[in-house]
Each structure stands twice: as structure tokens, then as C-alpha cells.
Structure 1
């Protein structure tokens, strides 16, 4: 099988815990492009969180916000926003439990609670600027994803509370909030349709819980050696860790470099 496109998660896949891209990964992506295979970012991050990384690697297309906002070479081709009615219920429910929220649009993001330590800790782990404060941002802008700031032992407070939203933990103090059924796989499918490709034509690399659907959707799903253990059963192949040449090893396994 000759794969034609490769999707890459960012955190724990293209970048390590220090949010640095290993030199071997930079070289492997360059070699992939030289061989005529399109590299695409597929991440839970918003576009304004990874522009320098995309420029460093020369990647022009992305599936962002866990599949909710997809752009191919500068052309937006897929949008999946959270309905206002769903956001209203989320805001009310989180407020009852004193949990802060961060709302992500396509161009910027804001929190509804000022100076909350959980917001600071979670966002700081991404090595990006902190969000501004605007409690009404979600009312006036298309929201593609939100962060709910609570700890794992508090998750039962939200179980069964929303049939139209999906919660996926990405940090000890934060969970992604998506439209029910939302995943990177949806965004990937939109891009494949645009390019006239099928899932069998694609390879995907990931390491986190939000990569399950992506790895099973494509022709070859590759989990990093540093992956969350619950992701491993969803992978066709487990490569080395991000700092041990995992991207190069995986691309070689796929016979793309």
C-alpha cells in the first residue's frame, strides 16, 4: 500500500514535553515532503497555538480543534461549532460547581473566570499565551471547542449532564469540550473528501486519548512510544517515543521515507 497523506498530532507526537521539535523529526518531515507525501497537522490545539510549528515544518494544512476547524493550504473547508444552546447549558452547569471555562474561536480564545489557577496551569502547559477575560465571548463568536477546568475526581458531576457534548481529558486540570460525536476523524474525512482520497490512503500519528478515532479511521494508525496506554489498542503499529526518533521510525514502517 502506498500512502498519499500523513496526519500528525502535535503534543507528544511532533513535540516533546518541553514543546520542542526534535531535529530528527524536522528532517523526517522534510524527507516525507520530498517524497511527494502531504504532511498535515491534526491536533486538539487551535490554529493560533501552532502557527510557528507549522512554519518550522513547512506544513500548510491542518485539522485543528479536534476536527472542528479544517484548513487546506489556506482555504477553510470544514467548520463544526458548538451550538449556542449547548454552550448555555455548559456555562450554567460549570458555574454551579465553580468550574472555569475557556472558549476557543477560530482566531482567539477567552476565559469566563479571571485569574483562575486551573486555567493558568493548563494553558501554561501548552507554552502559549494565557487567554483574555471575556465572560460573554461565547455568546458573540462561533465557538469550536472549550476547555472545562476540573479534576478527574470531579468528572462524575458531568456524566449524563449533556447528550450533545463530548468531554475528553487532556490535562489533570482540564478537559476538551466538543460537539457529541466530534473527533479528529471527522475533520480528516472532510480533508480526504476534498482531495479525492480515501481513509486507506492515509497514515496518522498520535499519542493521546483524542487520537483514538483518528488512528482507527485511517489506513495505518501509528501510536507513539510515549502514548497514553489506553490509546495503544487502537493503533496498528507502535513506534518509538517522540524523543527517540518515533516519527522517522513510523514513516519508515509505512515505507514513506
Structure 2
């Protein structure tokens, strides 16, 4: 079999609804690697939110911050930080709306507020040991920021899309939006990973379940949506597998002939 590249999203894809790694998914990743395939992660998470998972699965290549930061074999090959000018505009606008921000760098994250329940609830939902970030509203001037979180409810997000057209907004939680460079997506980072490893689109498979996976599933040759994905995500995928809680990874890999 020709060597393939298989990319997995984390939340709702590799990890089940309780943020646990199913035994069947772990065994499937091991089988893929033993067969000589490349396995990588493609996530919206920061690298410090899935280090344990990488170690458990022995995965050394990943696309994170929804494509804005890429490591291949433990080497950083791509960085696409947010423009500081746009971050100033975002901070000014969010301040007027009384919406806190979290600035996310490659190693740390900081917030624009001492404490906010929405921040605590959203980060706690990842079950990655994340605590409320420290206050440092100037952090974007001290480090490259690859993703920012703005904390607002769904009915409030249209104002950001209308007034901040130089940024890309993707909802990931009831209380929070990911903020990326305009045009930023997992597909952008995957393109860099593919070029580094020498894969063509037809050799690449990607599994995902949420709105931030749409561009990824469209870009690769073989996009697989999880059964728990919204319909809008399933519609852009080439394949739809079972729910993550019903051995969705294993079933999907069998569907595409990789297991």
C-alpha cells in the first residue's frame, strides 16, 4: 500500500464526548503507524493543550491553532501570527462590548481581564488541565499570537464579523469564538505539512467533526466527517463515519480502506 498521511482533529474526533481517548482509536493509530503511514493531528487547540495526547499516541507532527502553527517531526516549520494592528482593533472593539479576550502564544496564554466565568467554563470544557489565564492585556506586544479567543454569546458574534473584516471568526464554544488571520484555517497549515512531507492531496485523509474542520475536509483528497458532526460539516466531507462514541475512527478508517 502506498504511504498515506492521516490527520485527526482532537475534540469530538480522537477524543470522545467525555474528552477521553477510546481504546479503539488508540489501537487504530498504532495500526496505521505500523503499516508505515504518517499520522498527524490537526486541531484548534494550542500545543500545550494536547501534549499528553501526542505523547500517548507517539505523534510528532501537528497542525494547531487552526492551521497557524505547524510542527513536523518536532520541528516548527510554519508560523502565521495575527497582525498586531488588527489585535489592537479587536481589543478596542471587544472592550467597548465588555467582552474579554485571551491571547494565545506558542507557549503561554494571557487574558484582558482578571476573571471571567465564560473563560473558566470554556477552558474547563477542554479537560486539558487549563486554568484561567493570568491578566496581561499587553501580551500581544510581548509574544507572537497565533489565535485569540473572544468571549461572547452567539447572538453577539455578527458584530465582530461586520466590524472586523480583517480577521476570521469561528465559534468553538457557547461562550467563545476563535479569532484567526483572515483566510486562516486548518487547510493552510496542512498544505505546509504536506509540502514538507511530500504528500499529494490524494494521499491525504482527514477526520473532523466541527465548523473549524470544514476547510480541512474540503482541501484534502479524502475528508471524513464524524457521525456527531453538524450537517453543514457532513455535507462537505467525502465520507461520513459513525459517532466518536461508536468507534467512529475505526469505522471510518475501514470505510476508506486504511484498516
TM-score (normalised: structure 2) = 0.97
Q: How many residues align?
A: 257
Alpha-carbon deviations, 1:75-102, whole Å to 9, x = none? 1001110011010000000000000000
Q: Which residue of 1 aligns with 2:239?
A: 237
Q: Larger deviation: 87-96 or 1-10?
A: 1-10
Q: Which residue of 1 aligns with 2:123?
A: 123
Q: Does 1:156 align with 2:158?
A: yes
Query: How far has the Cα of 1:254 moved from its partner?
Result: 1.7
Alpha-carbon deviations, 1:185-230, whole Å to 9, x = none? 0000001111121112100000000000000111100000111222
What is the alpha-carbon distance in structure 2 between the residues aligned to residue 156 and residue 239 of structure 1? 32
What is the alpha-carbon distance in structure 1 between the residues aligned to residue 139 and residue 119 of structure 2? 16
Q: Does 1:255 align with 2:223?
A: no
Q: Any conservation in 1 of the 2:3–2:36 contact (CA below 8 Å)?
A: no
Aligned with residue 178 of structure 1, among 168, 177, 180: 180
Alpha-carbon deviations, 1:50-69, whole Å to 9, x = none? 00001111111100000000
Alpha-carbon deviations, 1:24-59, whole Å to 9, x = none? 101111011111111100000010000000111111
Q: Any conservation in 2 of the 1:3–1:200 contact (CA below 8 Å)?
A: no
TM-score (normalised: structure 1) = 0.98
Residue 198 and residue 223 in structure 1: after superposition, are their counterparts in 2 closer, same or farther (change >3 A)? Answer: same
Q: Any conservation in 2 of the 1:35–1:256 contact (CA below 8 Å)?
A: no
Q: Any conservation in 2 of the 1:168–1:176 contact (CA below 8 Å)?
A: yes
What is the alpha-carbon distance in structure 1 between the residues aligned to residue 34 and residue 13 of structure 2? 21
What is the alpha-carbon distance in structure 2 between the residues aligned to residue 158 and residue 169 of structure 1? 12
Note the 1:208-219 alignment, pairs <5 A.
208-219=210-221
The RMSD of aligned alpha carbons is 1.1
What is the alpha-carbon distance in structure 2 between the residues aligned to residue 196 and residue 28 of structure 1? 23
Q: Which runs of 5 or more residues in structure 2 are unaligned?
A: none
Q: Which runs of 5 or more residues in structure 1 are unaligned?
A: none
Give SS of 2:7's match.
Answer: strand
Q: Any conservation in 2 of the 1:3–1:256 contact (CA below 8 Å)?
A: no
| Deviation >2 Å, runs of 4+ | none
